[in-house]
Amino acid sequence: MNVSIEIGLLVSAFLIFCSILMSKTGYRFGIPTLLMFLLAGMLFGTDGLGIQFDDVSVAQHIGMVALCIILFTGGMDTKMEDIRPVLSPGVMLATSGVFLTTLFCGLFVYWVSGWQLHTGVGFTLIGSLLLAATMSSTDSASVFNILRSQQINLKHNLKPMLELESGSNDPMAYLLTIILIQCLQAGGVSGWEILWSFLLQFVVGIAGGYLLGRLSVWLINRVSLKNAELYSIMVLCFIFIIYCSVYLLKGNGYLAVYIAGMVIGNSRLFKKKEIGTFLDGMTWLLQIVMFLMLGLLVNPHEMLPVMLTAVLVSVFMTFVARPLSVWLSLLPFGRKITNKSKLFISWVGIRGAAPIIFATYPVMAQVDGASQIFNIVFFVTLISLLFQGMSLSWVARKLGLTEPLPEKEDNFGIELTEDVGSTLREVLCTEELLQRGRHIRELSLPEGTLVIMIKRGDRYIVPNGSLELMLGDRLLLMIHNV
């Protein structure tokens, strides 16, 4: 049936609008926002209101574009000073953790396949490992979204460790998926070929991401554009240039864009705030489109035959494979990471869009059992988002890993660009401060420090030295960086 562009746009806008309204309702009950988008797609899909969408290729390509921007934005938001103390364990979780999860879960799926009479599912050993590989990584979109939207403040640097793991483990899962598909199609790949592929993907991915990230910073800071909005478009172009260049060089494009995002986010960058705001909006839009599209792609009635297998795999992965891989991956760090922290890391093995996107690769490659792999991965993702996503903050509190959120210093809505050479800091006027002086000139502020504004209740005051301070005033200080 031919549909006009106007009808297509109307339906698309209506779907996104309804998904946003559903996500607001879900947020009130603690349901992860991204799960509501996924459910909205299923509601409007073939088995729901009847919207037909079955183009796996389009879904895969849109998912690739979305993952590039999500990973890049996550990298930009990752501060090196936060992840430096947890860099080694984060990398171990993103590499050996993914490999061990694939191994344990793949062996379990192969064992369950022996019950084909009861489960209706039968996979070879390589097919079982392929199924496990597609869902072996924690989903960056889901983890970033849940940790930040639920405003969980975690102890022991757990938040940067989890965000580092989820942002950097997709490349490992992608690589395992591609290699196992090649094994099924070619009838086997030698160990040396696998090792060389791993080394090439990671070395080219890391080096390409770093070098192209540095080049992007250099170009952005030296290209003088009359329209400031074009800087954000330029960064968007760089994301896809980095991904495609590294991919064509046989490297891992997903790893490259994440590394490049970290390089750019931790560099002095012209119009960084505006670029970050633009990418945050793009990330939300693409997350909505991606989860909504994946919900439309699946036919719920096709998941019924694999429901028992999916539940068994989900339970095993959550309570056995993920904890085992976490404990073994973090063994080299001894007692530096507490058992409660390891238990929480195990629970944050949330699946999301990335595993579903990776599950489309076997479908596109037309390997045996590809449709079963896709439906099992989708069902496991639903269970993971529902139970692990909803209980994340509760589990953190039960394990005693939460602490009060620091007060957010944003009462003035003012931000300086990095090239100013100064920083802003808010100070609350307390009894102790007032004992030093009732007027600004009596405070003996350090050299290079200036009170530029005061918030008193709902009023904003531009002060002078003779202004009398009152208890509860908020002072905005500009401090020159030496």
pLDDT digits (tens, 9 = 90+) for 319-337: 999 999 999 999 998 788 8
Q: Identify the pLDDT of residue 242.
A: 96
pLDDT at 210 over 90: yes
> Which of 176, 250, 178, 175 has the alpha carbon at shortest distance from 207?
250
> Which of 245, 169, 133, 250 has the alpha carbon at shortest distance from 203?
250
Q: Give the pLDDT confidence of 126-166 residue by residue, as tens digits.
A: 889 999 999 998 876 666 666 666 666 788 888 888 888 88
CA–CA separation, 235 and 271 (whole Å): 11
Structure tokens at 428: 């609350």
Tell the CATH topology of 418-480: Alpha-Beta Plaits (3.30.70)
Q: Identify the pLDDT of residue 473.
A: 86
The CA-based angle 177-178-180, given to 5 degrees, is 65
Parallel/antiparallel/unpaired status of strands 449-456 and 422-428 = unpaired
Start-to-end CA distance of the chain, whole Å, equals 67
Report the top-level CATH class of 5-404. mainly alpha
Q: Phi and psi (nearest 5°) for 477? A: -105, 140
User: What Rg do the C-alpha atoms of the chain give, in angstroms?
Assistant: 25
Confidence bin at 56 (pLDDT 50/70/90): confident
What is the percent of the chain with per-residue pLDDT over 70, rounded to a whole number?
89
> Which of 129, 126, 107 has the alpha carbon at shortest distance from 187?
126
> Which SS3 state, helix, strand or coil, does residue 449 take?
strand
CA–CA separation, 448 and 436 (whole Å): 19
Structure tokens at 151: 């405003």
Average pLDDT on 373-394 reads 87
Residue 464's contacts (CB-CB under 8 Å, 6 or more residues apart) are 440
Q: Are 315 and 371 in contact (CB under 8 A)?
A: no
CA–CA separation, 214 and 284 (whole Å): 26
Q: Are 207 and 242 in contact (CB under 8 A)?
A: no
Q: Give the pLDDT confidence of 78-87 residue by residue, as tens digits.
A: 888 888 888 8
User: Worst-scoring range by mean pLDDT, 18-27, 271-280, 336-345, 440-449?
Assistant: 18-27
Helix ranges (H only) for 2-50 are 5-28, 33-44
Q: Identify the pLDDT of residue 407.
A: 59
Q: Phi and psi (nearest 5°) for 474? A: -110, 125
CA–CA separation, 187 and 328 (whole Å): 31
Structure tokens at 43: 């509601």
Q: Would you mind telling me the total number of residues written for the chain in this entry? A: 482
Parallel/antiparallel/unpaired status of strands 449-456 and 459-461 = antiparallel
Residue extent(s) of CATH 3.30.70.1450 domains in the chain: 418-480
Q: Identify the pLDDT of residue 413.
A: 67
Q: Give the pLDDT confidence of 414-455 residue by residue, as tens digits.
A: 766 666 777 888 888 888 888 888 888 777 778 888 888 888
Q: Identify the pLDDT of residue 463.
A: 84
Average pLDDT on 164-172 reads 83
> Which of 153, 87, 318 has the alpha carbon at shortest distance from 326?
318
Residue extent(s) of CATH 1.20.1530.20 domains in the chain: 5-404
> Which of 164, 167, 180 has the alpha carbon at shortest distance from 99?
180
Who has greater pLDDT, 135 or 34?
Answer: 135
- DSSP conformation letters of 118-166: HH-----HHHHHHHHHHT-SPPHHHHHHHHHHTT--BSTTHHHHHHHHH
* Type of residue at 482: V
Confidence bin at 46 (pLDDT 50/70/90): confident
CA–CA separation, 269 and 334 (whole Å): 39
Helix axes 98-113, 322-329, angle to 10 degrees: 150
> Which of 230, 258, 250 has the alpha carbon at shortest distance from 74?
258
- DSSP conformation letters of 227-280: STTHHHHHHHHHHHHHHHHHHHTTS-HHHHHHHHHHHHHTS--TTHHHHHHHHH
CA–CA separation, 472 and 446 (whole Å): 22
The rounded mean pLDDT for the chain is 84
Task: Answer positive or negative: Cα dihedral of 351, 276, 236, 249.
Answer: negative
